[in-house]
A and B are shown apart, each in its own frame.
Chain A
Amino acid sequence: MARAVDAARRVTGVESRRWQRLQQLFDAALLLPAGDARRTFLVQAAGEDAALAAEVLDMLDEDARENSLLDRDVTEIAHSMLAPSAPPAGARIGRYTVRRFLGEGGMGVVCLAEREDLGSVVAIKILRDAWLSPARQRRFRDEQRVLAQLNHPGIARLYDADTLPDGTPWFAMEFVEGLPLTAYCLAHGCPVERRLQLFRQACEAVRYAHALAIIHRDIKPSNMLVTDDGSVKLLDFGIAKQLDALDATSGHTRTVLRLMTPAYAAPEQLVGDKIGVQADVYSLGVVLYELLSGRLPFDLSDLTSQAAASVLAAGPPEKPSSRTGAGGGAVAGGAAPGRSGWADLDVLCLTAMHADRERRYSSVEALIRDIDHYLGQEPLEARPDRLGYRAGKFLRRHWEAVSVVTAAVVLGIALSVFFTLRLTNARDAALAEAARTERVQRFMTNLFRGGDETAGPRVEMKVTEMLERGVLEAEMLTSDPPVQWELMHNLANVYRQLGRLDDADALHAKSLERRTAVRGHDSPEVAESLVAIGLLRIDQAELEEGERLIREGLALAERLLPPDHPAVVAARLALGQALRERGVHDEAIAILEDAATRQLASNALPIDQAEALTALAAAFYSAGRYDEARSTYEDVLERHRAITGGAHPLVAGDIASLAAIEQDLGFYDRSEALAREALAINESYYGADSVHTADNLTSLGRALLYQEKYEEAGIALERALSVQEAALGPSHPMVAEAVNELGNILAMQDRFGEAARNFQRSADIYRSVHGDGHYFVAIALSNVAYMNMKQGFYPEAEALFRSVIALFEESLGADNVNTGIARIKLGRTLRLAGRLPDAESESLAGYEILAKQANPSISFLRAARDDLVLIYEATNQPEKAARFRAEIAALDAPPL
């Protein structure tokens, strides 16, 4: 018996042999007639082992019976064991008293409950059988976390959450009474316009969720309730997904597939592809189809996901208009749309639910815009002729090639490069953060700067709104102090990266205070805060104080934690950064080299090792040690390739850094090639319409600009701008950056008036995002002033420069590099206006500010020297003129 031998090999000897004996005797006895014959046989066969005989006899008894549990159908057992249960009326859940059972959802029981002290009624969702699997608990808490972030009149909101004494989690949310959207429209006989208005309300709620990086993933009419007063509420975020870059590897997403409703699911959902906001756009499109035509676009019932996906891929459904009889059969009452109205509705609806997500509305916002266009009787953006019109206009745009680069224009470029470099650094920091820390932090930070698998939501977000919500949320989290501090800490870091340094300061102070109060000064949390505040001080240009704090934090961390602990490594990296900012390059490099070596020798995650090397590479870059910077970035690039498999945004980021090096070294063709490579990766990763792609287009445009390929540069930048405007809305900092760049191109072509308008627009955007006093506003205004100067509008230029200088002094300090640059520019304006004494004082002041801090060869200092030479010559001060002329000559001389 091969089977028995096989089994015996894997099983403990005695019991296995005994079981074989039992089975042999049982089989043999069964051949005998029931009764004494069997008993006699068994007693004989078992010999001395009376227990064996008794056991087989018991087995024979059971064999004769027919009511063993095993004879029943497991179906019955399932019925008995899994019978639904719910808390009875009167049961207490937290501060609530259960009134009645409302229903049963995917994972939870929902009850109506009342909070007696307030008399308010809520719906309480309780996770059934929480013990069953961690996956369910995770999902339940995910839903709760998602709801906690949503504060919108169109979304049923979260009020409270806790666990029962036995650990069963529950949460209380707004109780919504109403009809599903489709049923409501049917019951009230709503005309098309009313249907669109209701639908638009639902879209607004979805748009809001997207702005918080939340995809609903289960949009359908039964999750969109219309209340008596005609307002729409979006419900059930039970399978919603918070976009999160690193989550992509964890595989949670696959379990969701079976839970959604196939009739409304996007094709990419059906086949289990990565999904983004466009999946919700698709579902909204199906709902709209149903609202317009009275039925679903496809019959997908009884199909597997794959089969359903191929139905969707086979082509669009009938136009909604053709299903409404003479254009309105399903939609009664009101003013029926005319022929062209229905044509627009067909386009609108089928664009929203296009099987190819590239051809869908890229965001809910775009869908809403077209609904508004329809309601306002304007042409749709989705209309093909309109797209053609725009493309034609784009191609017809004529770019003049202007090859003369004046010193003045170089000033403009240098300014914008300085500025975009800052932004890029902030993004790098965000990515580094993302790779290192907790989920919450990853989410928070990623929201702002890169690193996510799916473009879209974050870009539509109103930054300020979202942060303020976050702070409020953190304030409310008193039940979980460590998470509260962590959240505050992270929010502070995000504020810092956005340049809202005062807000960052206040939050860090609060977080530090609470951490110190509870954990005591000697704790890793306090060390973390000190390091973060140190980095903040550096941004605030208090370099020495920053370094001091970081050193204090590092010392504390080193005392409390093992030397290779991530917090210690992070503190070392911060110190390296501080020293780099202070220009103490050698020490910065030494510390970062040490940190990187330790990371490489430890068993740190490869991604953390790469991060340390990235910091080192940046330090080399800042020190002007381009060869080492290049080889280190190349090393990082290889590592990121190995970690990510190649075509990943991290890889694109490294390639973009290499492009920046080549650009600095003046190898613009190489820089251009690298920029194109980075662009290609991000384009295939995020799609052509993503902000990340637009970012690369911006750098590519810059590389082209340096090669004086104005036409190509213009096209790249226009493309970047149109993507960003579409994705981010017209007033977003990244749009401002692109507009600024276009201004530079126009300036290079001596189209100063147009350039000035672009710079003015950047200034307006920054003002609305960051407030009047932010230095970004000053940078943009300074460019406007410069264009005024170029056009000879000296009084306007002077007035504007003076207010710019005041802004810089207020926001960054009187000795800041930007203040110096603005004063140099003012100096030139005054010189050109013929006001030489005033010009001298400004140019000189700017010169002195910069000479202390900057590389002597930067264009601003050169411009200041040129101006001073001219001023002193004109005012008969040859000795002073000679001093600056000598400096110019020294710099122009070939290096020894």
Chain B
Amino acid sequence: MHDNKKNDRRALDDLFSAVYEELRRLAFAVRRNEQAVTLNPTALVNEAWLKLASSPGFDVESPLHFKRIAARAMRQLLVEAARRRLATKRGGDGAQWVTFDEAVHREAVSERSLIALDAALDELAQAEPRQAQMIECRFFGGQSVAETAAALGVSEATLARDWRSARAWLAQSMRHAG
């Protein structure tokens, strides 16, 4: 039991590393227009899986299991990043870092909303862990409806209904938090 937890932590830790490096690498390539790369989490997770599955001692049971961990890693990764950025913006005594990614023209995602989503998701997990997992897989892990339904063992119709209600609830919860 403890060992499993440890292994999970270890796997998560390794995945954090893996997913993060890939995200960064791709983000950088996109910005420099070096090649036609989109920052696509699905592709990312698939690529990470291909690379990691062939390495020895990597004892994740299946691609599905792997993707679940990857989605979790992605969520924690992004939320942690948001917290850090927020702390820096508040003028912590850390080093003054500048963002030099000027190529992202879209409206920036606010750190606060991501952090609020994370909190709401935790709350949802208290009531209905499966739906929280659904959000993690679909949203953070970039998995398709079919993949997510298979991972959770529900029909696609159920998934669509659950998605709609969970989305609505999370949105109102975030609004109240904000």
Q: Report A's interface with B, CB cutoff 8 A.
A: 3, 7, 10-12, 15-16, 18-19, 22-23, 26-27, 30, 55, 58-63, 65, 68-70, 72, 74-88, 91, 93, 101, 104, 106-107, 128-129, 131-136, 139, 164-166, 168, 251, 253-255, 257-259, 271-273, 304-306
Contacts and interface: CB of A to CB of B under 8 A. Distances in A.
A132 B84 CA distance: 10
B57 A83 contact: no
B41 A78 contact: yes
Contacts of B74: 74
A124 B135 CA distance: 40
Contacts of B93: 165-166
Interface residues of B, number: 80
B78 A133 contact: no
B51 A23 contact: no
A7 B162 CA distance: 13
Contacts of B55: 254-255, 257-258, 272, 305
A77 B78 contact: yes
Contact of A7 (B56, B128, B161): B128
Given A131-B84, A251-B57, 20 more contacts: A3-B158, A7-B129, A7-B130, A11-B127, A15-B127, A16-B126, A19-B128, A62-B167, A62-B172, A68-B171, A69-B109, A70-B135, A80-B104, A81-B111, A83-B104, A87-B95, A101-B100, A139-B17, A255-B18, A258-B52
Contacts of B170: 68, 70
Contact of A63 (B99, B100, B140, B164): B164
Nearest to A6: B130
B54 A78 contact: no
A23 B164 CA distance: 10
B126 A11 contact: yes
B57 A58 contact: no
A61 B167 CA distance: 11
11 contacts: A58-B175, A60-B168, A69-B113, A70-B135, A75-B39, A76-B106, A79-B101, A80-B109, A81-B111, A83-B104, A254-B57
A259 B40 CA distance: 19
Contacts of B161: 27
Contacts of B81: 81-82, 129
Top-7 shortest CB links A-B: A19-B127, A166-B94, A62-B171, A83-B101, A59-B168, A58-B172, A133-B16
A62 B51 contact: no
Nearest to A4: B128
Contact of B58 (A59, A62, A88, A254): A254
B27 A83 contact: yes
A101 B97 CA distance: 12
Contacts of A132: 16-17, 20, 77, 80
A80 B115 CA distance: 14
Given A19-B128, A165-B95, A81 B168 contact: no
A62 B104 contact: no
Interface in B145-178: 154, 158, 161-162, 164-165, 167-172, 174-176
Nearest to B161: A27
B13 to A, nearest CB: 5
B97 A85 contact: yes
B114 A69 contact: yes
Contact of B23 (A61, A82, A87, A93): A82
B38 interface: yes
Nearest to B58: A254
B143 to A, nearest CB: 11
The prevalent SS among residues of A at the interface is helix
Contacts of A22: 165, 169
Nearest to A274: B56
Given A19-B127, A68-B167, A70-B135, A83 B99 contact: yes
A180 to B, nearest CB: 17
B169 A305 contact: no
Contacts of B1: none
Interface of B: 10, 13-14, 16-18, 20-25, 27-28, 30-31, 38-41, 48, 50-52, 54-58, 74, 77-78, 80-82, 84-85, 92-101, 104, 106, 108-109, 111, 113-114, 117, 124, 126-130, 135, 139-140, 142, 154, 158, 161-162, 164-165, 167-172, 174-176
A165 B111 CA distance: 23
A276 to B, nearest CB: 15
Nearest to A304: B50
Contacts of B80: 131-132
B24 A128 contact: yes
B168 A26 contact: yes
B81 to A, nearest CB: 4
Contacts of B25: 106
A15 B126 contact: yes
Given A3-B130, A60-B168, A86-B97, A78 B27 contact: yes
B82 to A, nearest CB: 6
B54 A70 contact: no
A16 B106 contact: no
A58 B111 CA distance: 23
Given A69-B113, A255-B18, A272-B56, A74 B175 contact: no
B78 A304 contact: no
Given A19-B127, A74-B74, A79 B27 contact: yes
A268 to B, nearest CB: 11
Interface centre among A80, A104, A106 (most CB of B within 10 A): A80
A88 B95 CA distance: 10
Contacts of B117: 69-70
Nearest to B81: A81
Given A106-B21, A255-B14, A304 B95 contact: no
A857 to B, nearest CB: 54
B158 to A, nearest CB: 7
A135 B16 contact: yes
Given A3-B154, A16-B128, A65 B50 contact: no
Given A81-B85, A131-B80, A257 B54 contact: yes
A310 B111 CA distance: 46
Given A74-B78, A257-B55, A88 B129 contact: no
A59 B168 CA distance: 5
A75 B21 contact: no
Contacts of A27: 161, 165
B172 A258 contact: no
Contacts of B172: 55, 58-59, 61-62
Nearest to B40: A75
Contacts of A305: 51, 54-55
A680 B139 CA distance: 55
B27 A63 contact: no
Contacts of A12: 126
Given A69-B114, A70-B117, A257-B51, A86 B100 contact: yes
A167 to B, nearest CB: 9
B92 A166 contact: yes
Nearest to B116: A69
A78 B171 CA distance: 20
B58 to A, nearest CB: 6
Contacts of B176: 58
Contacts of B154: 3
A688 B78 CA distance: 50
A865 B47 CA distance: 79
A72 B109 contact: yes
A91 B126 contact: no
Interface centre among B52, B101, B106, B127 (most CB of A within 10 A): B127
B139 A74 contact: yes
Given A80-B109, A306-B54, A258 B130 contact: no
A134 B10 CA distance: 10
B100 A85 contact: yes
A11 B129 contact: yes
Given A86-B97, A135-B16, A164-B95, A69 B57 contact: no
Given A23-B165, A69-B114, A304-B50, A81 B95 contact: no
B16 to A, nearest CB: 4
A164 B48 CA distance: 31
